[in-house]
Amino acid sequence: MKDYPFQKIEKKWQDYWLSNKTFSVKEDPTVPKEKRKYVLDMFPYPSAQGLHVGHPEGYTATDIYCRYLRMKGYKVLHPMGFDSFGLPAEIYAITTGTHPRITTEQNINKFRKQIQALGFSYDWDREISTHTPEYYKWTQWMFLKMYEKGLAYMAEIPVWYCEELGTVLANEEVLQTPEGPRSERGNHPVVRKPLRQWMLKITAYADRLLEGLDKLDWPESIKAMQRNWIGKSEGANVRFKIKGYEENLEVFTTRPDTLFGATYMVIAPEHPLVEKITTEKQKQAVKEYIEKAQLKSDLERTDLAKEKTGVFTGAYAINPFTQQEIPIWISDYILMSYGTGAIMAVPAHDERDWEFAKKFNLPIIQVVSRDGKPQELTEAFTEEGISINSGQFSGLPTKEAKEKIISYIEENKLGRRAVNYRLRDWIFSRQRYWGEPFPVVHVEGDGVQAVPYSELPVTLPEVKSYKPTGTGESPLAAIKEWVETNAPDGSGRKAYRETNTMPQWAGSCWYYLRYLDPHNDKEFASKDKIEYWMPVDLYVGGAEHAVLHLLYARFWHKVLYDLGLVNTDEPFMRLVNQGMILGEDGEKMSKSRGNVVNPDDIIKEYGADSLRMYEMFMGPLEVTKPWSTKGLYGVHRFLTRVWRISERPIVETEPEKEHLIALHKTIKKVTNDTDTLNFNTAIAQMMTYINQINNLKEIPRKLWEPFVLLLAPYAPHIAEEMWEKLGHKESLAYHPWPQYDEKLTIDKKITVVVQINGKVRAKLETERDTPKEDLEKLALSNQRIKELLQDKTVKKIITVPNKIVNIVI
């Protein structure tokens, strides 16, 4: 018997699929919409490290599903590309002097080779890379559409800036360390400073981004994260007078019913009133506190677990309902970017306020209780209840109290009803070279002008140095001949190109649309092709993109929908997050731990089919699981056994009934499990089947051909080779999927449960459809049941054929 020659087989079929363009798909209007599927992977950033075994997990899942769908008669769009702008390539350029484009394209070639070595059925004619001018021309085009719509604007805002990296960082990219804030990448110092930024008005879409989630087949945890990120809350804006000043302090509250319990105010360190209202005596303490707060990220400042800090301004506000003077404090747990940057603190009914009040010995007044009677509080009572100590509003349930107090606030001009969002407008610029240039210029004395569409793309110039300027500007600012230009309006006035570039998110916001029509130089995709394929039916990728990428792409898509450029207002109908693959030590794979598994090594030793099947056999797709080389070896042994069976004589004789039953049960199980992405249980069933037919010296074709087809989506190389050995001239990629006979999948023997007074006491192995009377006789004659019924009176027997006999005593 020959051993399984996977190296020869896999190379042969990969070359065949590529040269024959086996998976290239063309739109065919005669195929109805319900027989078309768009299955998408989150495209990778082509890093120098190449693929690790975590990447192929999601790709293998979609590949199995796509191969299965093609065999089920579907038109399938399954593309791949590269998210190829980004900071790592630029950092590499700074340290080595190599152009980011060169390293990026080398990395892309490496990734493509690794991906193809796994036998994934991508349509490589549709490959895209976000760093190519042909691609980013359309990213710029879409930006101009947003600019025209008033959704892109400039603002000076405080941002995290890293001198060493020369760019602005998102909160999530900043680490808080004992030495102060540092960049996650490279561990460099980071400071807070105001910089001019391009912004996208994502807040204008907050409600629609929330509402759209309801119709999506996404994991509930991801929807919850998005809802939380958008953070919609309803309540009132209330004005508090400040003692001795003309200004008011405005706060937003979701609990206006607790106004009578407001015993102090807290404002953000960045609040514009801080300087004005801080007393001479408190100035130094306030100054020192603000300096410390500037070194923290928003994430750290709002961490519920951290100890509350604060400082008194020396000023007092007047509670508009009680007329009491209440102190105004500063604390970093209040963000200027949320609400009004100020809160009324009601320590009896808010956990953070309670902790703060306890720490600084501030008054706590209960104004809501469960039953309308005051209680001894040992912690904040945050539930709804009945108002107490609230003047004319005492005795009202929370919902009614809220409504009546908001009406009172509006009637007495103390404030107004309001809706707030945690979501901020999107900072859409980076001070770096390796990104999409903005298609705008700054005209002397006339502000911003858009570059005409006919002049797109605005391409990146060649540069000698990729180093940041040190002034907070991108390296592009140093290229005088590129920066200096003329106003697009033909007036001959001097103009200067925008030197910020777009963030890496820009290209990934709409890449799924470019796959539809990647070579079109007249539009980003034709209307017909958008209509033909969109929306994406299944999107698979890591949960780490749960908020930002998915939220940004949904926003971008809704803008395109409003412009009449796409046919749906949501891009991704179904989302599946694959679980993480950990190292053999149960820890996250990382170079420093030395537990990274390189797929190239696995393919070399065990073959791509073994790697694919093992990653799917490890457990349910969505679950995090540790790598095990022993487990991989088990799957490789299974494929070797399959290969050895394929070497036996294949005969035309009719199979035994028991083997036919085993086959049809397998077809049914693999079909259902592949359809629902339960690949691990489908593989387990195929293993069971191979065990059932392994003792046959000759293999009936009727038992073998359908199995080869079932295996094909999972282990396509070995399946294609065995299909060819069976005498077929064509690839099996589009061969119809096997059908099962339902009658052959029904078990003749079944288990019937016997209960006494509803408690399971015995189980009967019996023929399916045994008559009711016979079942009852069998139950009563069961030794265990006979013992339990001794000296008992049977009142009645309830029997459900094929399921249960319940004896009532």
Q: What is the 3-state secondary structure (H, E, C) of 688-738?
A: HHHHHHCCCCCEEHHHHHHHHHHHCCCCHHHHHHHHHHCCCCCCHHHCCCC
Taking each helix axis from N to C end, the angle separating 679-693 and 608-617, rounded to the nearest 10 degrees, works out to: 110
Q: Are strands 75-77 and 36-41 parallel, antiparallel or unpaired?
A: parallel
What pLDDT sits at residue 395? Answer: 96
d(CA 332, CA 320): 25
Preceding peptide of 535 cis, ω within 30°: yes
Domains and CATH numbers, the chain: 22-138+505-578 (3.40.50.620), 233-420 (3.90.740.10), 440-500 (no CATH), 599-744 (1.10.730.10), 747-808 (3.10.20.590)
Residue 789 in tokens:
């019924």
What pLDDT sits at residue 110? Answer: 93
Nearest to 572 by CA among 543, 545, 536, 540: 536
Residue 742 burial by CB count (10 A; 0-12/13-18/19+): exposed, middle or buried?
exposed
**What is the pTM assigned to this prediction?**
0.83
Nearest to 218 by CA among 622, 617, 613, 618: 622
283 assigned to a ligand binding site: no
What pLDDT sits at residue 172? Answer: 60
The answer to whether 167 and 87 have CB atoms below 8 angstroms apart is yes
d(CA 21, CA 371): 73
What pLDDT sits at residue 1? Answer: 39
The answer to whether 60 and 599 have CB atoms below 8 angstroms apart is no
What pLDDT sits at residue 542? Answer: 85
Nearest to 726 by CA among 711, 697, 704: 704
What pLDDT sits at residue 708? Answer: 98
Q: Strands of 170-310 (E only): list them.
A: 174-177, 180-183, 191-200, 233-242, 248-253, 264-267
State which residues of the chain have pLDDT below 70.
Answer: 1-2, 170-172, 297-299, 303-305, 337, 468-472
- What's CA 416's distance to the chain center, in Å? 37
Please tell me the total number of residues recorded for the chain in this structure: 809
